[in-house]
Amino acid sequence: MPGYKIHLFGGLFFYLILLALTFSLGFLNIFSSLDLLSCAMFIFLGSIFPDIDIVSKGQRFYYYALLIFIIYGIAIKRIDLYLIGLILGVLPLVTKHHGLVHNPWFNIVVSISLIFYLRQFDQTHAISFWSGLFFLFGVFSHLILDFGLKGFIKRFYLN
């Protein structure tokens, strides 16, 4: 099982592949510099997300980011952000390692939920779609590093 630095590198590798793919398909011109930075953030978060269920630097980073998210939700009086933060805070406590958060289907649902949640803040709905997609590819990079490509594909059929 690779450490968090290898998972971040895997996320970077997928990010560069996705940038090259979006550029070759002509989509790159729709991104601003801030959008590219946002997508990079989401792919890096996705690349460490499956290891939130073990005590690690990735988990510590996850909880620091979650604390800021919850405080932000309280500060702007958004109960939905607060509740999402609480659910995400409990998630690592109720899952076993290589369990739920290593399930590709669970992460697809998380990514789709992220897209629909971000849509309410995104008038064009473009960056919310790309953010969720980049998060999902970050998760997939993590799962491929953990299980290999063959094991990753098997998890789609066995779960």
Q: So what's the pLDDT on residue 159?
A: 59
DSSP string, the chain: ---HHHHHHHHHHHHHHHHHHHHHTT-GGG--HHHHHHHHHHHHHHHHGGGGGSSSHHHHHHHHHHHHHHHHHHHTT-HHHHHHHHHHHHGGGSS-TTSGGG-HHHHHHHHHHHHHHHHTT-SSSHHHHHHHHHHHHHHHHHHHHHHHHHHHHHHHHH-
pTM for the full predicted model: 0.80
Q: Which residues of the chain have pLDDT under 50?
A: none
Q: So what's the pLDDT on residue 66?
A: 81
d(CA 87, CA 83): 6
